[in-house]
Amino acid sequence: MTGGGSRTIREVDVVVSAPGRNYVTLRIETVGGLVGWGDATLNGRELAVASYLRDHLSALLLGKDSARIGDLWQYLYRGPYWRRGPVTMAAISAVDQALWDIQGKAAGMPVFQLLGGRARERLMAYPHASGHTVEDAVASISTKLEQGYAAVRVQASVPGLASTYGIHVGDEAYEPAHTDLPDEESWSTPLYLDFVPKLIAAVRDQLGYGFNLLHDGHHRLTPTEAAWLGKELEPYRMFWLEDVTPAEDQAAFSLIKAHTTTPLAVGEVFNSIWDCQQLITNRWIDYIRCATTHAGGITHMKRILDLADLYGVRSGCHGPSDVSPVGMAANIHLGFAIPNFGVQEFMGYPEETAEVFRASYRLVEGHLEIDEDVPGLGVEVDVEAAARFPYERKYLPVNRRLDGSMHDW
Ligand code: GCO
Ligand code: MG
């Protein structure tokens, strides 16, 4: 569908930069001069998405009517014949976010107004607490609670393992993609399963039950092990246990759910509604973790979350530092408008990120707030500042069991 008016797309650019970490950002400009931004960051595979956008999508977007968001989504999804997958869907997600940004700017309204308007005053956010010992982890949670957070994720080093997912290094926040070739982490299921119930028990014992407690298993257990862990943690009333198994096997969750009342969250690596259709419609999960940056932008995430609402599943959008402030803003606008918001992960960003991304959402005492009078997504990107931070190749780690064989990271 070709445009012709001021809403016609006249320029498409991809900005790859590393202000503290790598980001891929899409810029779409209309004939009338409106600019929309989209986040296309796929941690560790950034340039594949940048190429998909530059080499395959930009020619398709030029001359199209930017107001036809739903139709363009279908065009990009059905058009190539090769559907889904993280690279394709991150690219479509960025286009979709940028078009919603433009739609809001054209209407003079924040995107959440276009999605139905404000349904809550603020969003509960959760940060990452971690420690090399149980004591450090408890102290780390205390600090977050003092800052006003009502929900906190906890990870701690598993005794006996050389490295553990999710533990901060020095004063820096935990950033898994930090090496120019994949770091090798180590894994032992018995050591992990022995440790986690002790960690969670110590947290509740020392800090009580007056806050929401989360833990990320990062896709490493079998369904039976996951069911056991969920049962063990029941007395500690978790807010959620995340990514207990690699979830391309959706039916595995029927076994886990049948054995535990610990709430289950999954979906940060999903990229379409088909990845979570069975999980949602069978009520095998409690929170769906897809994010607007990887699961088709605002348009597709709205469909996922509407389906989820029918089955009592709430949102818990992925929000690590590898979702850029643009993607974070898209998650936040959705969170303000939907009835089934659960929680928003907010890991925070390296300091330099703010030199490139000027975000108008705010973190106030552990909750996210948003302005009524900033049109679009409310994040402006400084392209000149971005040029000061060239791309640096970074990989996520891989994981090996103690016998040297590969495990899920
Ligand atoms: C989370 C995630 C992240 C991922 C990272 C990979 O719960 O926030 O598990 O820590 O590992 O986003 O790129
Ligand atoms: Mg996770």
Confidence (pTM): 0.97
Contact 255, 231 (CB under 8 A): no
pLDDT-based confidence at 173, cuts 50/70/90?
confident
The closest of 263, 270, 254 to 229, measured between CA atoms, is 263
The pLDDT of residue 169 is 82
Q: Return the number of other C-beta atoms located less than 10 Å from residue 164's C-beta.
A: 20
Query: Is the pLDDT confidence value at 72 over 80?
Result: yes
**Average pLDDT for the chain:** 97
128 belongs to the catalytic site:
no
The pLDDT of residue 172 is 77
Q: How far is the CA of 383 from the centre of ligand 2 (A)?
A: 30
Task: Give the Cα-Cα-Cα angle 188, 190, 191 (nearest 5 degrees).
Answer: 65
pLDDT-based confidence at 21, cuts 50/70/90?
very high
Catalytic, out of 126, 165, 192, 236: 165
> Helix or strand or coil: residue 147?
coil
Give pLDDT tens digits for 320-344: 999 999 999 999 999 999 999 999 9
| Average pLDDT score over residue span 370-384 | 97
Q: Whose CA is nearest to atom 12 of ligand 1?
A: 320
Q: How far is the CA of 315 from the centre of ligand 1 (A)?
A: 16
165 belongs to the catalytic site:
yes
pLDDT-based confidence at 58, cuts 50/70/90?
very high
Residues 6 or more apart in contact with residue 312 via CB below 8 angstroms:
283, 286
Query: Is the pLDDT confidence value at 3 over 80?
Result: no
Q: How far is the CA of 103 from the centre of ligand 1 (A)?
A: 30
Query: Is the pLDDT confidence value at 1 over 90?
Result: no
| Average pLDDT score over residue span 390-403 | 97
Token pair for residue 265?
A: 């969250």
pLDDT-based confidence at 2, cuts 50/70/90?
low
Ligand 1 atom with least separation from CA of 218: 9
Percentage of residues in the chain with pLDDT exceeding 90?
Answer: 97
| Average pLDDT score over residue span 184-212 | 98
Query: Is the pLDDT confidence value at 209 over 70?
Result: yes
Ligand 1 atom with least separation from CA of 347: 8
- For 123-373, CATH gives 3.20.20.120
